């Protein structure tokens, strides 16, 4: 059985390169998660999961992550990614992720609205909402990434 994560944090990064995958890798590195084996998960925060400003995770670890990312080859375009977490007392919470054209502020506003709609659909009210967004002006091939990292 796979253990249920007990900790989480939010992170974000950007990258620019000659290729999409390298731009994505640079965004992962800037976000501090470039040396982990990420396992993409959907949008549920486990019950009693505690927010940590920083997680120490050994390189190569299989790491659950919910993330939004965008890459673009459109020079001078502004791209953004954001995540939001709704922490609900005594039960599970919800994670939402978003990426698109625009600023970090735009992305955070959109992802927070998405979060509130997802919580309402479940009949949940958050005790705390956390969000993190980032934007990037594309020079060659750009990437913006925001993530919620889950850990044990």
Strands 62-72 and 7-17: unpaired
Q: From 27, 21, 62, 89, select the one nearest 151 (Cα to Cα).
A: 62
Instruction: Give the Cα separation of 71 and 24 in Å (integer).
Output: 7
Q: Which of 30, 61, 90, 97 is catalytic?
A: 97
Catalytic one among 30, 35, 43, 53? 43
Alpha-carbon gap, residue 118 to 127, rounded angstroms = 15
Q: Is 72 a catalytic residue?
A: no
97 catalytic per annotation: yes
43 is known as an active-site residue? yes
Do the beta carbons of residue 136 and residue 12 sit within 8 Å?
no
**10 Å Cβ neighbour count for 97?**
25
Nearest to 135 by CA among 43, 38, 73, 70: 70
Question: Out of 35, 37, 89, 105, which one is annotated catalytic?
Answer: 37
Q: Which residues are catalytic?
A: 37, 42-43, 97
């Amino acid at each position: 059985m796979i253990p249920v994560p007990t900790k989480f944090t939010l992170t974000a990064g950007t990258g620019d390169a000659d290729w999409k995958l390298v731009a994505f890798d640079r965004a992962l590195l800037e976000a501090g998660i470039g040396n982990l084996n990420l396992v993409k998960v959907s949008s549920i925060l486990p019950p009693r999961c505690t927010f940590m400003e920083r997680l120490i995770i050994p390189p190569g670890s299989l790491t659950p992550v919910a993330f939004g990312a965008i890459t673009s080859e459109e020079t001078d375009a502004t791209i953004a990614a954001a995540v939001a977490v709704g922490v609900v007392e005594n039960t599970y919470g919800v994670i939402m992720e978003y990426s698109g054209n625009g600023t970090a502020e735009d992305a955070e506003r959109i992802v927070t609205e998405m979060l509130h709609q997802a919580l309402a659909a479940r009949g949940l009210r958050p005790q705390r909402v956390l969000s993190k967004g980032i934007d990037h002006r594309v020079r060659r091939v750009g990437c913006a990434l925001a993530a919620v990292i889950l850990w044990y």
